[in-house]
Structure 1
């Protein structure tokens, strides 16, 4: 494989992208910093196909990233390969308003091949290639210039290894017939809605115990205000205000700006400065949350009483047995909330009752809750057995 020197000019990048556009796949990784900013600061982009690899410097003066971003989001003939690519996709979304398509995530694919729910990159490389990844440069300052040769070599290794692993994974998926199992997960990962920082929805990331409409209305207003402040100043949310303070203000709102000096977690200067005035204005403009926007309480699943909870526990046991038997991550078969809904009587709108999930797990789960399947100990091992009713 040909490894290019660090690409830092538009012409070289455009030529690289022209060649990559002819490849069936391209592996992608990014290095970024976000400790002190709201928006992740893109510091390096690594790409590779089966024949060449390069690191691209997005911080280089005047470099035009459009050819690369078009390759990511507009070219549907090239499959984009990531490992645990959520943050990489977020960066592309922030730059373009779109996510890479089509995409393939090797961490998700590993779920279908019995390698756990969140296999790390170094473990993936070790299991598929027998290579021990040098972790020494992982916590480097990627924003510092110039980057040294060791940093660039480490970064490019992320995509050159993936370019060798992906064909092996694809072959294994074809042999096991599990390629189609990943479609829904890849669609979920690539959904642009996952990466949109909508201030109107910012309240959902804050934990709060109260469920009164007026409290939640203030929570929504304060969280929206914080999100806009953080975005405009390009600072992490916590630098503006901690989650605990957001929740505290929603539950115990100050009557006037001067009261902010007594709020734990806020500077006393907020009692008379502009940011404090904007916060008070946000609180005063809050309206009680509409009933259709109120969150569903976790402890009030529809129809899930004490008996339903026991049934849900049995379904979780069945899921554990089934995922072990077919060597697949349980999360790929069904999620906990789905099991609880099935135990509560829901029979529609559940992914595990459709397609391949129904064949591999959903049918047995349905039979268990409807009395056609039972647990038995055979030869010291826990197995499933059909009941007399089914016979």
Structure 2
């Protein structure tokens, strides 16, 4: 465990400088890193081409290949995401609450950095840039353990981050790359209690499950993205078709992709057929229950595990439910508390859905693909948290801080 211990100790040694860094310093580091990413776009893409070739040869799944791939647009989007983070209000030192007690004690609750954050992720090179910028802006040090399939892409991006740190006079140990390839280092991170303050995993179900089961360090994560779009009987057919198509087919491999379409049993036949056809005509295979199969003959029978499956591919499940209450019951039974949406013109139905679905993100008349920190105005995110401690939904700047309470007195003693 010496490699991880050494890296974590160096990260902890960097914390005072990060916590004391001015907003201007952090902004400078991030904007320089963004500028370097733009200037070196061709080099980053060339490194990614090598990663992609090796990944294809090794048989990496289409979903992971999609997450690994970079092009000029994605690289520019990464740089733009860093600029957005740099323009956000600095959360460190923000007063959350201020109050006084009758005995004269004065209380102020303020945001402070979490500390050393370990981030374990697969494929997605974009996580490298996003995580570094968010952790830095929130005053944290981070240990980034990307997958070996993205080793060259991540190294190219981390060189840009390192330039930003150096330009701002911040310690290089603030952002460190854990050597890829050696899986024992992941377990070392999970067991670095007292050195790493929190672990944020981002990847497939196998990785997340392993982290959650083995970690002795607190974990902020989601296991599955079994997301639903419910088409209410009151929905506009054109709107429903557009949302359903986008929720599934914009990018099938992202964690915000719809995996199950729910249709109100009271929906008009044209509405139900329009929602289903939107998927079939976009190239999505469908499986469904008996009622769903009666809507469209192109829906195949659903297997026992269909409604509990995160496909991350051009396939979705379809079920017919009895109104909003039936949709909520289905989501409660089969969902993963990630992202669920209703398409409806009836305000009462929509509000009942928003209140009754216990997921991190619940939408009305919008695609589940908006489950993304950038779309929330956060600039970037490290992941989506579906637990009930500390943070829920996109993990961005505020979610990478915790608070402490400052108490000012004038000689009070407790009786």
TM-score bucket (shorter structure): under 0.3
TM-score under structure 2 length normalisation:
0.23
Larger radius of gyration: 1
TM-score under structure 1 length normalisation:
0.24
- The structure where helix makes up a greater share of residues is 1
- The structure where strand makes up a greater share of residues is 2
Larger RCO (alpha carbons 8 Å, 6+ apart): 2
